[in-house]
Amino acid sequence: MTSAEAIIRCELNGKAINISNGAETAGQSGLVRCREEDTGHVQREQELRDGKYLGQERMFDREGRLQRERTVNERGNSHGRVAEFWPNGQVRREETADNGRTQGAVRRFDATGRVERVSFHGDGQELFHVETNGRGQPTRLLCPRASVLPEDRKLCGFDGATDTLLHAENGTPTAQLRYDQGRLLSATEWTSGGLVSAQQLVVEGRRVHRSFHTEGGRSVLREERVFAPDERALRDTRGPLWSTRRYGASGQLIEQRGFDGGREVQVEHWYLNGSVRERSTWSGTGEQARLLREMHRDDGSLLRRDQLTKDQWPVGTQQAFHDNGRLAMEEQYSAPDARGRTRLTARKQWDEAGKLVADDTILEDGSRQRRAGGLDS
């Protein structure tokens, strides 16, 4: 006979009762005990008060071994101690509930009674937890802003700043966390091979997040994000940025961005040979915002210098340069119209020796009007 076919018989104070029949439980008080008819094993015990299930409740497995016990309030929610058990009778998990919501300490144990996880809940959220492997080494850690349990005192730096190593199940170190008074000051994470994979720290009040990759058996920095000073937790990836940097496969800097009030104000790019590739700087705000962008060749010489509106329309003076550094072309653009658009109004061109070879006025229909005289002979 399968468990789906098992017949369960219940009794109240030693007398048979059909708990599905409200007429039989109405006004009754005492302990309801239900057993599987074939085995006689207890499956459930519930306290009945004036026809309502209120008080102690205990649930058992098919073999009659206690699985879970709790106290139920008038709303049918857990209230007070809630415990789960291993088949050998050891406590598996215990907590305190407040009208169905976990409140305070929660502890989880393995079948031998060793603590696997300790946590603390308050204000509807988990404020602290620590998990350990079979060797008793911490594997995961979340610290509260104020001490809530004896277990958090040393790990979270409430007895003074401290470094805590986290480990994998096999004992391999995976991270090092530095806490002081519950605040994470730095965190370094390692790959299974012992190489740095990520790092977070606080520098001059700013959160710094770094990510790494493995190259030739070594850890190489790939990206760095620096946040503007705020009160967010170190691992929080939100908030206005101060700067970002990206690095090439060999660790050389290839991109840097600067921010002001969360708004990007500067961008720099480099070639893999180390020469600057682009440097762009924003000035002004709103409709008056302007981008000055300088493009370079891979030998570092200036290729172009442009000015753009916030919508990336050219405005004012645009310049291009020969390989020898001399000015090759200069264009003039109008101020933005009501739709934010600009138009080319003039263009000059020079050869590599610096001789002016073209001096054009650009008319509204796009045609050009070249100066007849005045060019260098």
Which amino acid, 283? Answer: S
Neighbours of 344 (CB within 10 A): 16
Coil/strand/helix, residue 181: coil
Report the distance separating Cα 351 and Cα 348, nearest Å.
11
Report the distance separating Cα 1 and Cα 8, nearest Å.
13
What pLDDT is stored for residue 4 in this prediction?
Answer: 55
Q: Is the pLDDT of residue 85 over 80?
A: yes
Which amino acid, 237? Answer: T
Q: Is the pLDDT of residue 95 over 90?
A: yes
Burial of 169 (0-12, 13-18, 19+ CB in 10 A): exposed
| Position 276 confidence tier, pLDDT thresholds 50, 70, 90 | very high
Q: Which structure tokens are listed for 322?
A: 């020969």
Q: Report the predicted TM-score, pTM, of the whole model to 2 decimal places.
A: 0.77
Residue 314 DSSP symbol? B
Report the distance separating Cα 242 and Cα 259, nearest Å.
5
What pLDDT is stored for residue 244 in this prediction?
Answer: 98
Beta-ladder partners of 68: 59, 84
What pLDDT is stored for residue 3 in this prediction?
Answer: 47
Which amino acid, 275? Answer: S
Could you tell me which of 284, 270, 272 has the C-alpha nearest to residue 336? 284
Q: Is the pLDDT of residue 348 over 90?
A: yes
Contact 227, 240 (CB under 8 A): yes
What pLDDT is stored for residue 123 in this prediction?
Answer: 86
User: What value does the mean pLDDT take over residues 124-138?
Assistant: 95
Report the distance separating Cα 47 and Cα 33, nearest Å.
9
| Position 50 confidence tier, pLDDT thresholds 50, 70, 90 | very high
Contact 220, 247 (CB under 8 A): yes
User: What value does the mean pLDDT take over residues 143-150?
Assistant: 96
pLDDT tens digits for range 154-210 = 999 999 999 999 999 999 999 999 999 999 999 999 999 999 999 999 999 999 999
Q: What residues contact residue 337 under an 8 Å CB cut-off, 6+ apart?
A: none
What pLDDT is stored for residue 111 in this prediction?
Answer: 96
- Mean per-residue pLDDT over the chain, rounded: 94
Contact 313, 290 (CB under 8 A): no
pLDDT tens digits for range 203-260 = 999 999 999 999 888 999 999 999 999 999 999 999 999 999 999 988 899 999 999 9
**Is 4 or 55 the better-scoring residue by pLDDT?**
55
What pLDDT is stored for residue 14 in this prediction?
Answer: 87
Using CA atoms of 338, 339, 344, 345 in order, give the dihedral in degrees to the nearest 10.
-10
Class of domain 279-377: mainly beta
What pLDDT is stored for residue 372 in this prediction?
Answer: 64
Report the distance separating Cα 97 and Cα 314, nearest Å.
65
Which amino acid, 169? Answer: E
